[in-house]
Amino acid sequence: MSKISKISGFPEFLPGQKLAEEQIVARIRQVYQRAGFVPIETPAVELLSTLQAKGSVDKEIYVLRRLHAEGDEREELALHFDLTVPFSRYVAQHFASLNFPFKRYQLQKVWRGERPQKGRYREFYQFDIDIICRDDLPVSCDAEAIDVFAEALSLIGLPEYEIRINDRKILLGFYEALGLNPEQQKKTISMVDKLDKIGRDGVLKGLQQDVALDAATAQRILDLTDRRLAPKEAAEVLGAMQIDNPLFAQGVQDTLALLELISEESLSRIVIDLSLARGLDYYTGLILEVRMKEYPEFGSIGSGGRYDNLASEFTSQKLPGVGFSIGLSRILGFLFEEKRIEIPRDSTTEVLIAVYNEEQRRECARLARDLRREGVAAEVYFKSPKLGKQLDFADARGIPYVLFVGTEDGSLQVKDLRSKEQSALASVGELVERVRSGRSNG
Amino acid sequence: MSKISKISGFPEFLPGQKLAEEQIVARIRQVYQRAGFVPIETPAVELLSTLQAKGSVDKEIYVLRRLHAEGDEREELALHFDLTVPFSRYVAQHFASLNFPFKRYQLQKVWRGERPQKGRYREFYQFDIDIICRDDLPVSCDAEAIDVFAEALSLIGLPEYEIRINDRKILLGFYEALGLNPEQQKKTISMVDKLDKIGRDGVLKGLQQDVALDAATAQRILDLTDRRLAPKEAAEVLGAMQIDNPLFAQGVQDTLALLELISEESLSRIVIDLSLARGLDYYTGLILEVRMKEYPEFGSIGSGGRYDNLASEFTSQKLPGVGFSIGLSRILGFLFEEKRIEIPRDSTTEVLIAVYNEEQRRECARLARDLRREGVAAEVYFKSPKLGKQLDFADARGIPYVLFVGTEDGSLQVKDLRSKEQSALASVGELVERVRSGRSNG
């Protein structure tokens, strides 16, 4: 017999957990669809050259090899490590068939070829949305994307969380005003992004040693990261900063315009956090990160931002966009572990039809079909042992109703396993009504 | 700029097609859930040793290698090539946490590391259901699985198809009665399974040359494959065959019991096809295959059967089961190509809210949220150009209604783009009603 070993980094849910995941996914999908987003899906596999088109990739990649490959076959296929690169390739490839603004959602697994390490996933779901425009992207799109993303987040059952936003232009304008050259600005972004990891002293030291800034400049950059503003104080505080730099001014203006546009519900979650830098090169304006307040060490559970050009590696079309990603598997893994989410019972069945003897199985199956046609989840017990055993089966799975069919006259009786009451039914329709009203009360 | 090349064998849908796929998947999932099946999902990745646990695998496997692997790392991970092997491993691994009979559905991609070849997929979705019992599996489970599978098939929008069934015991009993030893029986199954590919003469020749049968025996085996019976003639014809063999008799008895139990709807699709052999070793009773009548050359679009022991490689528990798989990607690829399925428009939006000027965007966004809360898919135009342009946008995407909000008084007007009529609205609620009734008529 083959030994089964768990493979670290490849999480696997039990049926109840998978059911909870499906329910959450259905809710998020509905939010996205109702806001006019359409689904896309790309293969798990891309050409390795596509995945590396944006230059060197710091994510670990899994390359594919055919087990029965012949000696001269080149390894050119690999599993995608995020959904952004495949999405860029997709938009460039199908450009002529798409309508712009192109608003898409995409729920897929991604793979990271990392060495096994506790708590690190090597296969996980991401749930992305993006809005892509041709040539220019108004700030209304940033606001729309945030609102829809925030509504999706609100349906997951997360503990208290906040949506931190910042604008790259504010950071870069501030650094420019301090006299940093573009190369230094870029390095400073990376250094500030490490604040959580290496701490304030680490950043201060890094800015001086790696970015060659003087102590006073480094300190001013660090001071900026202390600023965390509620949306309603943003105008006043950012306006009072008196930084004489057009990029900075534009960043402030765009941020205030954004805050004007987004909904009250979203605003209640938002903090303007000037320490937020985001590591990725391609962000050019809004950047965003979601964190759980009570679990700061858990890190970001959702993130994204605005970029000037989605697919410059694959097409000459200018395609600015804004988008966010929900780290679905990480979030669910956490919620399950912390018992923060109610896991549905292992069955969605609402009515179990008991079977007195095999002669009546066909009739029972017909009743089950009638119930299902009315939207009631029903199944027939698979054998015909003593009724006690069949009731135990329903109990163990949390099935609320058991239906009995008289062997002589086909008369119907139902037992409610929660109230333990048993009663006669005039028709299947009566049971359908009972199940429906039980749902809304339960 | 990086060149984009299509990778053969990795299909990719446009948004409207993906939307159609999501709708079909939702319908199938509902059928399975209402019948008491629960979802599971396994990682895409298994240990190579797990995938090979059932012995030599004739499917081509993709092995994973970390791009930055160090020299001494062993390649031990691979992508699954079907859902049956991962399911076996899953049931064995989580045995103590599962309820039996365990009824699961599983929709996932599988990968085949084949050489590129026209029309051959290397990545595709399969949608599987199985019922697994402990120790013994009554024929009622075969019937239940067929009924639920047949209902799912009926929701896909397939052209005329038939569900062919047979029983391995009928074949093996027949071969045994002809004097074939077990090894010859096994080889004969494989040979008969090739009937479509190599034709009658090929099978006749193969049975004599490869299985070492005399011409008369080979002919009798070939003759059996001519038998195609409607369910209602099965009892008479099979009974009249006068094969004196207990295995054959058991196969006939089980088949007739099965036909007694399944629904009229399923029966109307079913043919008892004694040429059906199925290649896979592990089937022990019922075997099944679905084919489109007008496209015989397309081959099987769904298949499965009954097996005595799901997970004998991984556990000493005896777990007989019955299950079927829908070749979802192959089916959808075909339906799209043949224009056999209506592809929804590229947007699910029902109401576009036009924007006269940016001052009213916040109000428009609020109205959009009100509509969505009532279940109406609504979006706000992303800029505020002349109305004609906004109407063109709605037209191009097939959005049926455009809502106008008065800049002075907030008064509402709606234009129905199908009737071209424009009218005043007393409230958003009125529009919700209009959209809802338009849905049921449309």
What does B159-192 look like in DSSP terms, one character per residue?
SSEEEEEEEHHHHHHHHHHTT--HHHHHHHHHHH
For residues A14 and A329, the answer to whether their CB atoms sit within 8 Å is: no
Phi, psi of B10 (to 5 degrees): -115, 85
A48 touches chain B (CB under 8 A): yes
For residues B362 and A54, the answer to whether their CB atoms sit within 8 Å is: no
Once rounded to an integer, what is the mean pLDDT over residues B215-244? 95
Contact state of A14 with B62 under an 8 Å Cβ cutoff: no
d(CA A291, CA B83): 36
Question: Which of left, alpha, beta for A291 (phi over 0: left; psi -120 to 50: alpha)?
Answer: beta
A403 touches chain B (CB under 8 A): no
Phi, psi of A424 (to 5 degrees): -80, 150
Q: What is the CA radius of gyration of chain A?
A: 28
Which chain A residues have a beta carbon less than 8 Å from that of B89? 4
B145 touches chain A (CB under 8 A): no
pLDDT at B332: 96
pLDDT at A117: 76
Once rounded to an integer, what is the mean pLDDT over residues A8-16? 94
pLDDT in tens, B137-191: 999 999 999 999 999 999 999 999 999 999 999 999 999 999 999 999 999 999 9
pLDDT at A82: 94
* DSSP labels, B12-75: ---HHHHHHHHHHHHHHHHHHHHTT-EE----SEEEHHHHTTTS---S--EEEEETT--TT---
B267 touches chain A (CB under 8 A): no
B89 touches chain A (CB under 8 A): yes
Tokens 């017909």 correspond to what residue?
A366
Closest C-alpha among A212, A213, A206, A243 to residue A227:
A243
**What is the distance in angstroms between the Cα of A308 and the nearest Cα belonging to chain B?**
17
What type of residue sits at position B70? E
Return the SS3 of B262: coil
Once rounded to an integer, what is the mean pLDDT over residues B39-66? 89
Question: H or E stretch including B141?
Answer: helix B139-153
d(CA B314, CA A4): 7
Instruction: Locate B432 and state its tokens.
Output: 């919700």
- Does residue A229 carry a pLDDT above 70? yes
pLDDT at A440: 66
Residues in chain A: 442
Find residues 309-348 of chain B whose CB sits inside 8 Å of chain A: 312-316, 346-348
Half-sphere exposure of B89 (CA within 13 A, CB side): 27
The CA-CA-CA angle for residues B314, B318, B320, to 5°, reads: 105
pLDDT in tens, A120-132: 899 999 999 999 9
Which chain B residues have a beta carbon less than 8 Å from that of A130? none
d(CA B303, CA B83): 13
Question: H or E stretch including B147?
Answer: helix B139-153
Identity of the residue in B39, B97, B101 whose CB atom sits nearest the CB atom of A382: B101
Contact state of A99 with B346 under an 8 Å Cβ cutoff: yes
For residues B124 and B330, the answer to whether their CB atoms sit within 8 Å is: yes
d(CA B332, CA B107): 14
For residues B152 and B269, the answer to whether their CB atoms sit within 8 Å is: no
Half-sphere exposure of B359 (CA within 13 A, CB side): 4
Mutate to test the interface with A, among B1, B3, B4 (most CBs of A within 10 A): B4
CA B143, distance to chain mean position in Å, is: 18
Closest C-alpha among B395, B393, B391, B392 to residue B404:
B391
Closest C-alpha among B89, B120, B122 to residue B106:
B89
Q: Which chain B residue lies closest to A79 (C-alpha atoms)?
A: B64
d(CA A357, CA B233): 27
Half-sphere exposure of A132 (CA within 13 A, CB side): 23
Percent of chain A with pLDDT over 70: 98
Tokens 């009229």 correspond to what residue?
B264
A372 touches chain B (CB under 8 A): yes
B403 forms beta bridges with B353, B414
Task: Using DSSP bridges, classify how beta strands A321-326 and A300-307 pair: parallel, antiparallel or unpaired.
Answer: antiparallel
Once rounded to an integer, what is the mean pLDDT over residues B371-391? 97
Tokens 């799901």 correspond to what residue?
B310
pLDDT in tens, A191-215: 999 999 999 999 999 999 999 999 9
d(CA B128, CA B42): 13
pLDDT in tens, B269-297: 999 999 999 987 789 999 999 999 999 88
d(CA A321, CA A286): 11
DSSP B342: P
A200 touches chain B (CB under 8 A): no
pLDDT at A441: 57
B56 touches chain A (CB under 8 A): no
Q: Which chain A residue lies closest to B375 (C-alpha atoms)?
A: A34
Mutate to test the interface with B, among A47, A50, A64 (most CBs of B within 10 A): A64
CB-CB neighbours of A347 under 10 Å: 24
Identity of the residue in B40, B347, B348 whose CB atom sits nearest the CB atom of A15: B40
For residues B95 and B278, the answer to whether their CB atoms sit within 8 Å is: no
Closest C-alpha among A394, A400, A410 to residue A354:
A394
pLDDT at B223: 96
B33 touches chain A (CB under 8 A): yes
pLDDT at A210: 96
Percent of chain B with pLDDT over 90: 86
Identity of the residue in B5, B64, B261 whose CB atom sits nearest the CB atom of A47: B5
Identity of the residue in A35, A98, A361 whose CB atom sits nearest the CB atom of B372: A35
- Does residue A396 carry a pLDDT above 70? yes
- Does residue B72 carry a pLDDT above 80? no
Question: H or E stretch including B41?
Answer: none
Identity of the residue in B75, B313, B362 whose CB atom sits nearest the CB atom of A2: B313
Identity of the residue in A47, A62, A97 whose CB atom sits nearest the CB atom of B7: A47
Which chain A residues have a beta carbon less than 8 Å from that of B16? 38
A142 touches chain B (CB under 8 A): no
d(CA B86, CA B64): 17
Which chain A residues have a beta carbon less than 8 Å from that of B316? 1
pLDDT at B56: 63
**What is the distance in angstroms between the Cα of A191 and the nearest Cα belonging to chain B?**
25
Q: What is the 3-state secondary structure (H, E, C) of A230-259?
A: CHHHHHHHHHCCCCCCHHHHHHHHHHHHHH
d(CA B140, CA A240): 76
Q: Which chain A residue lies closest to B39 (C-alpha atoms)?
A: A15
Contact state of B140 with A358 under an 8 Å Cβ cutoff: yes
Which chain A residues have a beta carbon less than 8 Å from that of B141? 382
Instruction: Locate A232 and state its tokens.
Output: 């309603």
For residues B347 and B86, the answer to whether their CB atoms sit within 8 Å is: no
Please return the burial class of B121, using the count of CB atoms within 10 Å of its CB with bins 0-12, 13-18 and 19+: buried
pLDDT at A342: 84
A13 touches chain B (CB under 8 A): yes
Q: To the nearest 10°, the Cα dihedral for B430, B435, B440, B442?
A: 140
Beta-strand runs (E) in B308-419: 321-326, 351-353, 378-380, 401-405, 412-416
* DSSP labels, A48-82: HHHHTTTS---S--EEEEETT--TT----EEE-SS
pLDDT at B43: 98
Identity of the residue in B2, B93, B378 whose CB atom sits nearest the CB atom of A50: B2
Which chain B residues have a beta carbon less than 8 Å from that of A261? 361-362, 365
Lowest mean pLDDT across A112-126, A392-406, B242-256, B351-365: A112-126
Which chain A residues have a beta carbon less than 8 Å from that of B99? 346-347, 396-397
Percent of chain A with pLDDT over 90: 86
Instruction: Locate B14 and state its tokens.
Output: 């446009």
Once rounded to an integer, what is the mean pLDDT over residues B16-21? 96
Please return the burial class of A195, using the count of CB atoms within 10 Å of its CB with bins 0-12, 13-18 and 19+: middle
Strands of the sheet with A378-380, listed across from one edge: A378-380, A351-353, A401-405, A412-416, A422-425
d(CA A12, CA B72): 28
- Does residue A75 carry a pLDDT above 70? no
Beta-strand runs (E) in A293-431: 300-307, 321-326, 351-353, 378-380, 401-405, 412-416, 422-425
d(CA B10, CA B25): 19
pLDDT at A186: 94
Instruction: Locate B84 and state its tokens.
Output: 């049956």
Once rounded to an integer, what is the mean pLDDT over residues B409-427? 96
Identity of the residue in B15, B33, B358 whose CB atom sits nearest the CB atom of A377: B33
Predicted ipTM of the assembly: 0.94
B112 touches chain A (CB under 8 A): no
Q: Which chain A residue lies closest to B349 (C-alpha atoms)?
A: A36
Which chain B residues have a beta carbon less than 8 Å from that of A97? 14
- Does residue A233 carry a pLDDT above 70? yes
For residues B48 and B75, the answer to whether their CB atoms sit within 8 Å is: yes
CA distance readout (Å), B13 to A45, B299, B336, B340: 14, 22, 9, 15
For residues A30 and B115, the answer to whether their CB atoms sit within 8 Å is: no
The set of residues, in sequence order, having a beta carbon less than 8 Å from that of B36 and lying 6+ positions away, is A347, A348, A349, A377, A378, A379, B103
Identity of the residue in B44, B138, B358 whose CB atom sits nearest the CB atom of A383: B138
User: What b/e string do you get for A238-249 counting C-beta neighbours within 10 Å, with b at 16 or more?
Assistant: beeeebebebbb
Closest C-alpha among B167, B118, B112, B160 to residue B301:
B160
- Does residue A363 carry a pLDDT above 60? yes
Identity of the residue in B19, B39, B122 whose CB atom sits nearest the CB atom of A19: B39
